Structure 1
Amino acid sequence: MTKYVIAILLFIALLAGFLLYVGDNAALTLTSSAEAGLFQFSPITLTWQAVIVFTTAIIVFTLLTWTLLTWLWRLPSRIRSGVGLRRRNQALDAMEDALLAGADGDCDKARKKAEKARNLIGSEDLGRIVSAQAAEACGDQSEAVAQYTAMLESDKTRATGQHGLARNLLAIGDLSRAIEQAEIAYADNKNARWAFDVLFQAQMADYQWNEAAKTLEMGERRKHIDKEAARRRRAVLLSAEADRISDTGQTQLATNLASRAASETPEFAPGVALAANLLNLTGEKKKAISLIEKAWAKRPHPALAIALLDLIETEAPKSRRKRIDALIKANPSHRESHMLDAEEKLKAGDGVAALSVLAPYLNLDSEAEPPTARLCQLAGQIEERLGNMSDARLWYERAATAPLEADWSDLDPQSDSFDYSDADWRRLTFSFGETGALIHPRHEAGAPRRRPGLPEPLPLESEAVVKRDFEDVTQTPPRTMPETPPGESTKKDLSQRLDKLLDKPKE
């Protein structure tokens, strides 16, 4: 406003200066050559100052008149714009209220406010988006599905409708329709990362292992998933499909799928164990053993040892021991190799050698990692074989409260180590696929444990059994179980007693 006032004042000042410059001496005389009629008039004499002022007045009057007429002409549209702006502000307030009510869980208010916003906006597409988001915010997925379905009718909102519809159908368990919408969207837009995620999750939830593997390959090509994660997920999917079709009698196809999974991802023990079992069934025992050894070199696992022991069960003791030594040699410094070595020495009756192998892992220092339940169980078996019943009982008691091993140490040698349901395979696809962590479904679900490791020669489960063991094995009264003060290390005692055992001649 100030700049306009300044401009007017400046114009007046310039005009006044110009009038002073012209002065009132010079005059302008107007005459007419007409002798009669309208244009015949007497000569008119005007000063130039009067002419300038009159001319300026006419120009100003013309501008003001034009401005007034223009303002009157535009007044109706301005009135309409003001009403529209007011409606728009009201619509924005209604949208905000709808979303906030949905976030607060007030579904009735969210629905009413969304309806009000839809009426005020005047845009059916935007109104549906607001209604769908409000319904999602308050958990009304059926209403959200209805609104997203309606969005498919408009080209402008079709992609948004597919996204919201597929996501909500997956949430309510309508897997076939979720897969359909995600497939269409992923085919139409190769950059739709959400379509890959929804499609893969829906196929996994429907246990469509083969279709999920195809989606995984497409997602990997489009860089919607990391290559390492895709490789691990593919191993689980191939193993799950092999496990499924093996029950239908398609042994060769199942063997091919499992062998591919084991070759590409040898650190996935369930796939390797399954492939070894299927290869053995098809008469390819050597290949099965080779797969286990390669997997052991990559990532030793107790189930692989059990799988190997099953394969060589009928071989001669010398050949059997040679196979086991070759497996241990594939990764000699690993804890599982030492565990397998200790178990085999215990089976051979050499408890002293078994305890010697296991001793580094039985450190009970408070600062060290405590022995797991599996280690305690094996230590108890070794002590029991050596006739140290009080120490055996102590290790068995520790096994009951020791930390568990999440990567399948809880195995039953007499049954399938990976007798998985479809839900178990699905869980592994994400847990192992994302991080490479192997967590047994029983461990994850907190299910009761099975007896791990070797079949216990003398399981100590009650005081009566302990007493019987002392009478039958040692023929001497049991020693008083030593009480170790909390936090005090027993590593020194164990090493000293181990030295004494090593000095004794073997019986």
Structure 2
Amino acid sequence: MIRAAIVFFMVAAVAVAVLALTGDPGRASVVWLGWRADMTAAAAILIALLASLLAAVAWRTVLWILDAPQRAERARAEARRRQASDVLSRGFLAAAGGDGSEARRLARKAADLASDAPGLVRVLAAQAAEAAGDLDEARAAYTAMLGFPEMRLAGHKGLMQLAAAQGARETALRHAQEAYGEARTARWAWRALLEAKLEAGDWPQALDLMKGALDRKIVPPVVAERARAALLAASAAQLEHAPEPKARALAMDHAVEAAKLAPGFAPGVVMAARLLAQAGKVGRAAATVENAWRVAPHPALWLAYRDLRTDETPRERAQRLSELAAVNPTHRESLILHVERALIAGEPAAAHEAAGALEAEPVTARIAGLMARAAFAAGAPDEARVWLARGISAPHEPDWSDLDPEGRAFAYHASDWARLVITYAESGELIHPRHERAERTLRELPELPLAYDDEPMLTEPVLYPVEAEDYGEPEPPALPGPGTGSGRRGGGRRRLATGPRAAK
């Protein structure tokens, strides 16, 4: 109606303007029922437009009166929808807050008001029953949802959660499997199945699930790649000690693929290097470790790199380690490796100088032990004692806990691998189960005396990075100490040498 009035005034204004510009007002005559009216053309136009406007107003008024019943019905329906929306909102909030009685009352009220939203009413009824502790009613409500295609996924999820809460693991997994088979985006179903496979140590099935999740775009590619790398490493760890040659060959293939997918995943790289070296592919194993060192140095990497060859002199081994450190020269682990390299090569002055680059690093037990070994080898026993004292109260490094006292790297249980897969896939970070369980690890502090005694602490620097008999050389003499002679010291070969021999 407002638009019609605007049009009327615009037309009238245009007509009056045209007549004014022509200078001739014109004349118009109207004869009706014996009456005659003479007027100007402008007046006639205005009268005609006004009559049209009045006719339009009258017609709209008649339509408005005739539409009154439908308008009242629409108003009632809108009020009902608003009330139903309010009841559903308060019902879901009550269920989420654990107020079961209020949630059930509102669910019954919503069933009367929200006839156009049966799905929401059923979900609210099920959640209200759960909040009230009536599991039978909740199960019945979720089961009823399975009969409606658009509600089947919600029904399976509710039934899975109820079964899991009651310890019915097989039933919960069955609902997760059915939901995963129906919906392309049921991430919760995929996650439940994946966790079940990981807990059972079924790495091949977990790999299939991860591939399916990538195809369905449930997880991003970077997460899928990290998960596949960790799963392949877990599978390799399981197959590594199998008696069948085919299983061991498959373990090597899995470890190598894991190292390719995630060069920064140290467990997979160390395993790949070890299995490749056992297969006589030392050059390929070295390249695998070097690539990983470039991405994410880890202490287990340089130890695996060190043990790739056993037919070399200490200086040759130190030269190889120097080449590894040069791959990522500014990293903290490379600075540590320079000190270890010098100790292996029998260069105490170089070790002490290289240790100076670590003085700005936060003091940990490992750093303190390394500094003490370098000072001890360089003939500075007082400095070594200071570092040992600092190392006693310093925190331990979680990465170093990945190596057990026997020198095995990443000797994880199946449950540790299961946790590692999830954590590494989602965050790209390693977990340290041995550190969490406070298990015994390699000694970070060398066995050097902290107190002064009558005999000198050190007669000459003794480096003990590896056993001398590895190279067919005579063994160094033992350190003199109270109550000990100067004869050779016995003991088996250490796989991972972390410090000089103890002075007793």
TM-score tier (shorter): 0.5 to 0.7
Look up the equivalent residue of 2:352 and give its one-letter code.
L
Name the residue aligned to 2:153: 159
Partner SS for 1:466? coil
Taking a change above 3 Å as real, the CA distance of residues 133 and 314 of structure 1, as seen in their structure-2 partners, is farther
2:280 is the alignment partner of 1:276: no
Q: Which amino acid aligns with 1:377?
A: G
Q: Distance in 1 between matches of 2:299 and 2:340?
A: 11
Matched letter for residue 450 of structure 1: T
Per-residue deviation at 1:137?
Answer: 5.9
Which residue of 1 is the match for residue 426 of structure 2? 434
Give the partner amino acid of 1:458.
Answer: E
Contact 2:335–2:357, Cα closer than 8 Å, also in 1: no
| 1:19-418 map, 5 Å | 95-111=88-104, 113-114=106-107, 117-118=110-111, 126-134=120-128, 147-166=141-160, 176-249=170-243, 250-363=247-360, 370-408=362-400, 411-412=403-404, 414-418=406-410
Q: CA deviation at 1:163?
A: 3.7
Instruction: Return the TM-score normalized by structure 2.
Output: 0.65
Question: What SS does the corresponding residue of 1:267 show, helix, strand or coil?
Answer: coil
Per the TM alignment, residue 238 of structure 1 is displaced from its structure 2 partner at its CA by 0.6
Secondary structure at 1:307's aligned position in 2?
helix
Deviations 1:195-237 (A, max 9, x none): 4444434433444322222222222233332222221111001
Equivalent position amino acid for 2:272 in 1: A
Counterpart selection for 2:438 from 436, 440, 447: 447
Q: 2:455 aligns with which of 471, 494, 499?
A: 471
CA distance in 2, matches of 1:218, 1:402: 46
Gaps of 5+ in 1: 1-20, 24-66, 364-368, 476-507
Q: Please say if residues 369 and 446 of structure 2, whose CA atoms lie closer than 8 Å, have aligned partners that are also in contact.
A: no
Determine if contact 1:262/1:268 at 8 Å carries over to the other structure.
yes
Residue 258 of structure 2 aligns to a residue whose secondary structure is helix
Please give the TM-score of this superposition, normalised by the length of structure 1: 0.65
CA shift in 2, pair 1:414/1:132, >3 Å: same
State the alpha-carbon separation in 2 of the partners of residues 353 and 448 from structure 1: 34
The amino acid that maps onto 1:238 is L
Unpaired segments ≥5 residues, structure 2: 1-31, 35-64, 460-504
User: Helix, strand or coil: the match of 2:269?
Assistant: helix
Aligned residues: 402
- Residues 355, 374 of structure 2: 8 Å contact kept: no
**Distance in 1 between residues matched to 2:133 and 2:303, nearest whole Å:** 49
* Offset of residue 420 of structure 1: 1.1
Q: Distance in 1 between matches of 2:166 and 2:308?
A: 46
In 1, are the aligned partners of 2:142 and 2:158 still within 8 Å (CA)? yes
1:274 Cα deviation from its structure 2 partner: 1.4
User: Match for 1:106: what amino acid?
Assistant: D
How far apart are the structure 2 equivalents of 1:330 and 1:371?
Answer: 25
In structure 1, which of residues 399, 410, 420 is the aligned counterpart of residue 412 of structure 2? 420
Amino acid at match of 1:466: A
Select between 267-276 and 176-185 the one with higher mean Cα deviation.
176-185
Please state how far the C-alpha of 1:22 moved relative to its aligned partner: 8.0
Question: How far 1:241 sits from its partner (Å)?
Answer: 1.5
Deviation (angstroms), 1:190: 2.6
Distance in 2 separating the partners of 1:383 and 1:215 = 53
Cα distance in 2, alignment partners of residues 227 and 307 from structure 1: 30
Deviations 1:74-126 (A, max 9, x none): 9xxx99x9999999888767645543333333345445554565577678754
User: CA offsets per residue over residues 15-71 of structure 1, 9 Å max, x none?
Assistant: xxxxxx989xxxxxxxxxxxxxxxxxxxxxxxxxxxxxxxxxxxxxxxxxxx99x99
Q: Matches of 1:239 and 1:139 in 2, distance apart?
A: 44
Distance in 2 of aligned mates of 1:161 and 1:434: 28
The percentage of aligned residue pairs carrying the same residue is 38
Question: 1:302 Cα shift?
Answer: 0.5
**Any idea what the Cα deviations from partners look like across 1:325-382, whole Å, max 9, x if unmatched?**
332333333322221221232244433211211212213xxxxx52333212211222
Q: CA RMSD for the aligned pairs?
A: 4.3
